[in-house]
């Protein structure tokens, strides 16, 4: 069995995050990127300290550790459903600048960038992406496959449903519940509950259409 890290999916910006987070913790591993969704290469994601190869065919069992290399919830869910990888092999790729309460519970397969803060008694589910400068308040629940973009402020006792994406610079007011498979547009101010399967944005945030 190999020892190098297998990245499932190739989103250029997310690969850059993965490499930077690993390097912040002193890792210089060999990296194999499995581009099973055949996403195009749009920008440079290399790193001088890593040996990187991109492949479109492989055996998952040949690798000892996995992480996801895509940020869109729909892509993350698709990869896990299609490949059915062993969840025990997923590592958390967390930047050394992550500030988290010891009372917060973290899932597996996480990608957490620099300058992220998570307060006490919160829960971060599996395959969650937290981008830079995200702030999460106390007793907040972020469910599986969510992606939280840069500069988002989430107050205390908020619940975010599975597979939801929160756009850059959004503010979520205390106690709000956001449903699953929902998209909150960038710069929104979420002051009341938002249901499942919708696209919503604005200040205050309003439902615009179904997310299908």
Query: What single DSSP character describes residue 193?
Result: -
Domain closes at, from 91, 112, 128 = 91
Distance, in Å, from the CA atom of 62 to the CA atom of 71, rounded to the nearest integer, reads: 24
Domain-embedded: residue 208: no
CA distance 154 to 151: 10
CATH of the domain at 130: 2.160.10.10
- Count of domains for the chain: 2
Least confident of 30-34, 89-93, 144-148: 30-34
Q: Among residues 47, 133, 138, 139, which one is catalytic?
A: 139
| Per-residue pLDDT at 37 | 72
| Positive/negative CA dihedral, 37, 38, 44, 50 | positive
Is residue 2 scored above 60 in pLDDT? no
Based on the domain organization, do 86 and 172 belong to the same domain? Answer: no
Q: Are residues 44 and 58 in the same domain?
A: yes
Residue 139 annotated as catalytic: yes
| pLDDT reported for residue 43 | 65
Identify any residues that bridge with 79 across adjacent strands, giving them in sequence order.
none
Q: What is the pTM of this model?
A: 0.94
One-character DSSP codes across 69-108: ---SHHHHHHHHHHH---GGGB--EE-TT-EE-TT-EE-S
| Shared domain check, 61 and 37 | yes
Residue 196 domain flag? yes
The mean pLDDT of 14-19, rounded to a whole number, is: 90
Domain that holds residue 100: 94-202
166: helix, strand or coil: strand
One domain, residues 115 and 144: yes
Average pLDDT over residues 44-69: 87
| 162 and 98 inside one domain | yes
Please give the order of strands across the beta sheet that includes 147-148: 93-94, 111-112, 129-130, 147-148, 165-166, 183-184, 198-201, 206-210
Give a yes or no: residue 26 inside a domain: yes
Q: Which of 51, 71, 91 is the last residue of a domain?
A: 91
- Give CA–CA dist 196/96, Å, rounded: 34
State the pLDDT at residue 49: 84
Give the pLDDT confidence of 90-138 residue by residue, as tens digits: 999 999 999 999 999 999 999 999 999 999 999 999 999 999 999 999 9
In a domain, 155, yes or no: yes
Taking the C-alpha atoms of residue 180 and residue 105, their distance in angstroms, rounded to an integer, is 20
Give whole-number Cα distances, 12 to 7, 22, 131, 138, 199, in Å: 12, 16, 14, 32, 25
Shared domain for 13 and 29, answered yes or no, is: yes
């Amino acid at each position: 069995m190999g020892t190098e890290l297998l990245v499932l999916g190739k989103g250029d910006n997310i690969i850059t995050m993965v490499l930077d987070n690993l390097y912040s913790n002193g890792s210089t591993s060999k990296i194999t990127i499995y581009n099973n969704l055949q996403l195009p290469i749009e920008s440079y994601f290399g790193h001088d300290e890593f040996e990187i190869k991109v492949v479109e065919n492989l055996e998952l069992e040949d690798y000892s550790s996995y992480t996801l290399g895509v940020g869109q919830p729909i892509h993350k869910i698709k990869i896990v459903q299609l490949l059915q990888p062993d969840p025990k092999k997923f590592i958390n790729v967390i930047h050394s600048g992550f500030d988290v309460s010891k009372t917060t519970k973290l899932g597996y397969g996480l990608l957490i960038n620099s300058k992220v803060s998570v307060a006490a008694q919160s829960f971060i589910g599996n395959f969650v992406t937290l981008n830079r400068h995200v702030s999460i308040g106390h007793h907040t629940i972020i469910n599986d496959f969510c992606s939280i973009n840069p500069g988002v402020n989430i107050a205390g006792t908020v619940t975010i449903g599975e597979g939801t994406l929160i756009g850059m610079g959004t503010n979520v007011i205390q106690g709000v519940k956001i449903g699953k498979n929902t998209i909150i547009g960038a710069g929104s101010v979420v002051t009341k509950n938002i249901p499942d399967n919708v696209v919503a944005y604005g200040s205050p945030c309003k439902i615009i259409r179904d997310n299908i």
